[in-house]
């Protein structure tokens, strides 16, 4: 039995392994490749591996597939918006609990849009408070979103399979 989220977690593990392996010549030499060509290739393979978990019965036996695709797309947009909204709310709660020592904007980067959301948070914080640097904290929060996304994707895939959808 292979969980549906295993390819997602595997890609994160590969990236972490390459970074933490300690072979600096390897990391420096392939850094440019990993950040350009390999990123595109891994994104393609990730989509292919997740898409390959889809049963062909769903595609051939479902005349209302476009409607289901629209529902899934809508759920994705709602989930992403909810992720940002709840991230900001949790950021505000943590800011209140820390008596203002933690910037609540960091919560907005707690999604899997790596590293774009962390950069957007830094840009908006810099616009409001030019000397405030929150990029590293935003990237850390963003990484937490990266790690939890495949876990929840695996749970959702398992639930969908168990419901027979």
Q: Which of 53, 69, 89 is where one domain is finished? A: 53
Terminal-residue alpha carbon distance, the chain: 19
Does residue 127 sit in the same domain as residue 145? yes
Q: Among candidates 150, 97, 145, 99, which has minimal Cα distance to 121?
A: 145
pLDDT reported for residue 88: 86
108 and 150 in a single domain? The answer is yes
Domain identity same for 29 and 77: no
Same domain, 143 and 91: yes
Is residue 49 located within the same domain as residue 65? no
> How far is CA 38 from each of CA 43, 44, 150, rounded to the nearest angstrom?
8, 10, 20
Reported as a pLDDT band with limits 50, 70 and 90, residue 110 is confident
- Domain termination residue (choose one: 53, 69, 95): 53
pLDDT (tens digit per residue) in 29-59? 766 776 677 777 877 887 788 777 777 676 6
Residue 103 and residue 26 share a domain: no
> Given this model, what pLDDT does residue 27 score?
67
pLDDT band at 141 (very low <50, low <70, confident <90, very high): confident
Same domain, 71 and 49: no
| Neighbour count for residue 99 (Cβ, 10 Å) | 7
Phi-psi region of 90 (alpha: psi -120 to 50; beta: other; left: phi over 0): alpha
Q: pTM of whole model > 0.85? A: no
Domains contained in the chain, number: 2
Domain that holds residue 67: 61-165
Tokens 């959702």 -> residue: 156
**What integer pLDDT is reported at residue 83 of this predicted model?**
79
Residues 117 and 138 in one domain: yes
């Amino acid at each position: 039995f292979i969980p549906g989220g295993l390819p997602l977690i595997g890609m994160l593990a590969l990236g972490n392994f390459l970074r933490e392996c300690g072979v600096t010549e390897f990391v420096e030499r392939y850094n440019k490749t990993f950040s350009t060509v390999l990123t595109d290739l891994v994104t393609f393979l990730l989509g292919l591996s997740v898409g390959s978990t889809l049963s062909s019965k769903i595609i051939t036996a479902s005349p209302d597939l476009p409607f289901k695709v629209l529902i899934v797309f809508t759920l994705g947009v709602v989930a992403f918006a909810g992720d940002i909204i709840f991230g900001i709310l949790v950021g505000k709660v943590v800011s209140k609990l820390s008596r203002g020592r933690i910037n609540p904007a960091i919560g907005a980067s707690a999604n899997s849009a790596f590293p774009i959301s962390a950069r957007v948070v830094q840009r908006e914080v810099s616009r409001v408070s030019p000397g405030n640097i929150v990029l590293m904290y935003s990237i850390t929060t963003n990484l937490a979103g990266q790690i939890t996304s495949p876990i929840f994707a695996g749970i959702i895939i398992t639930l969908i399979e168990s419901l027979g959808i």
